[in-house]
Amino acid sequence: MRKIPPLNSVRAFEAVARHQSFSAAANELSVTVAAVSHQVRQLEDGLGQKLLERGRTVTLTPAGKTIYPLLRDGFDQIAQAFALISAPKEGDAIQVSTTRAFAERWLMPRLAKFNGIYPDIMVHIHASEKVVDLRSETVDLAIRYGPGDTGELGPVLFRDEYIAVADQSICPVGRQPVISDFHNRSLLAFKWKNQALQAPSWSAWLAGVEHDTSRDFRISWYSEETLALHAVERGLGPLLCSNVLMDDELRSGRMRRVTGPTLPGFTYHLIEDTRTDPRRSLSLFRDWLLNEAKSFRETALNELSASRRALTS
């Protein structure tokens, strides 16, 4: 006969340990913080030892660290067992997390194509600069942006580059714009949320192009990348930005590239919850997303080859 403490107490401890928060665990379990605390205390009293250190932050004791991974995996397997016999829901929904700029500029313009192929699958977009934990959050997959050597499992969609662009309305007619065309305007820039990334900068870009160094450029800063993208589209000045996020605008001619260097960017890669086998709807979206990324890469490569041929002809 299995000797198991009260399951409500075990479930409360697992939720607190996973979130490292009593309030987050209470929200997940739809009970009060006091109820969660009482359940964990009951478990600790029954075991005769502390599992959590309570303070400004919640940490696991050595005993808590010992049992938490086993309990976490056990609850994951229970959830998977019931998922195997659950009837598929009409209008199946999946949750996707990504950055605001990528959602707005690359993913959303392509979602109509997915909806046309799979009209019964609902795609919910959670756009935030916060890196979500797929184990803790109700998110099925995430598209993350950062260095390609992060060690996280997941296929790379593509790598971007940083170029200077300006709205065609403020560019000279008949030739490619150069940075000196914009001395009477501010250079646009945005604050990077991830301070650990070495963000491409105007100073690095200007160091790679000939210009009048006796004249200083002013830089107008925006708190959000999406705001800076809207600003450049309204002709407020040139912006150093990702070629991936500006692809449609450059292709249509609404935006022009400013003559200058190309700075290396980072990778967009797919992060999935590998604890369970993905639902059919999630597998379909994943395959569609990878195909869209492959098509995007191939189109960009063909355009680059055509551009190089034109320069050498």
What pLDDT is attached to residue 202?
95
From the number of C-beta atoms within 10 Å of its C-beta (0-12, 13-18, 19+), residue 228 rates as buried
Residue type, 242: S
Q: What is the pLDDT along the chain (313 residues), one digit of tens a residue?
A: 678 888 899 999 998 988 888 888 888 888 898 999 999 999 999 999 999 998 878 899 999 999 998 888 888 778 767 755 654 454 578 889 999 999 999 999 999 999 999 998 999 999 887 776 666 567 888 998 888 654 455 788 999 999 999 999 999 998 999 999 998 899 999 998 877 778 899 999 999 988 776 678 899 999 999 999 999 999 999 999 999 999 999 989 999 999 999 999 999 989 887 665 567 888 899 999 999 999 988 887 666 555 555 444 4
Enumerate the β-bridge partners of residue 60.
52
CA 100 and chain centroid, separation: 8
pTM (2 d.p.):
0.67
What pLDDT is attached to residue 139?
82
Angle, alpha carbons 131-92-286 (nearest 5°): 50
**CATH top class, domain 93-150+268-300:** alpha beta
What pLDDT is attached to residue 259?
94
CATH number for the region 7-85 comes to: 1.10.10.10
Q: Is the separation of the CB atoms in 260 and 205 below 8 Å?
A: yes
What pLDDT is attached to residue 215?
72
In whole angstroms, what is the distance from residue 234 CA to residue 230 CA?
6
Q: Is-same-fold flag (7-85; 93-150+268-300)?
A: no
10 Å Cβ neighbour count for 110?
Answer: 15
Q: Domain limits of the chain?
A: 7-85, 93-150+268-300, 158-267
Neighbouring C-alpha atoms within 13 Å toward the C-beta of 171 = 23
In the numeric block, which tokens belong to residue 232? 């450049």
CATH of 158-267, one of 3.20.20.70, 3.40.190.10, 3.60.9.10, 3.40.50.2300: 3.40.190.10
What pLDDT is attached to residue 226?
94
